[in-house]
Structure formats: C-alpha cells, structure tokens
Amino acid sequence: MRRMNMSTSQPGTESGYTWSIRVYYEDTDAGGIVFYANYLKFFERARTEWLRACGVDQHRLAEETGAIFIVRSTAVDYRAPARLDDIVKIVSRIERLGRASVDFAQEAWREGTLLATGTIRVGCVDRVALRPAAIPAPVLAALRRGPGVSRELS
C-alpha cells in the first residue's frame, strides 16, 4: 500500500497523525469489503509512518540500541465497511507514554465516516532477549514531540 498525500477533514483528525491509504483488491474479502484483520495492518503501517515522522528509524534503532517495538495488545471496534478503491485515512494518537510502552488510539475514516477504532499497546523490548526494555531517551523525547501526542504527555 502506498501513502497518499491528502488533506484531512474528518472529525477528530486535528490532533492526530494522519496517514492515508487506498484499499486494494488484496485487502478485501469475496464480497469486496475490507477483511476485518486488515485494519490491524492499516493501523500498523500508520504507526510505522508516525514513527518516521517523529524521526525514528526502527532499523537503526534496533542496530544501535537493540531496542525494538512489538505489539502487546489490541482491541478493534468495527463500525462501517471500507470497500475496494476507497481512500481510508488512519488517525493515530498517543494515549499514554510509559517507560517501556506506548498506548495508541487509532481510527479509520472514509470521507467523514468512522470505519473502525483501535487501541493498541506497543512495548519496547530487547531484540535478543525479547524482554521489556526502557524506550531509549532520545526516542522517548522524539515521541513526546511527535504529531498526535497529547500535550499532557510532553
């Protein structure tokens, strides 16, 4: 999926990082509706782009610090279907920024219609031991300054 550069007009997008994608045939089921698990892929890609927007290169982070981010938990609420060729805007916000984890609230929108909401907890772990690790200080600072971060977390 490619990133689409488009302006946002969905309610609630003013305070979040927005990343847009087009729905491809491979994203849909036999009925032409986005397969439910693909919203998790859309959310994952938006979080990755959000990290890039914060100046965090995940490959370099792993190489230099041994820290990687993994999904610890997810919850998704489906509201309306997306279909083939739709442009879906994913809005991502940090709800909580901890020492070793980040809680995201994410929304999928199509032209003012809320399609799905998700809450995702991402943990920082040592890539060798796969044990929790503190988010490196420069990354934590970048996350606090990033788009879609509540000013209470700054």
Q: Answer yes or no: 29 catalytic.
A: yes
Angle at 43 between CA 40 and CA 47, to 5 degrees: 135
Catalytic-role residue among 29, 57, 77, 85:
29
Angle at 1 between CA 118 and CA 136, to 5 degrees: 60
Alpha helices in 22-104 (DSSP H): 38-53, 58-65
Q: From CA 131, how far away is CA 123, in angstroms rounded?
A: 10
**Burial group, residue 11, by CB count within 10 angstroms (0-12, 13-18, 19+):** exposed
User: Hey, which residues are catalytic here?
Assistant: 29
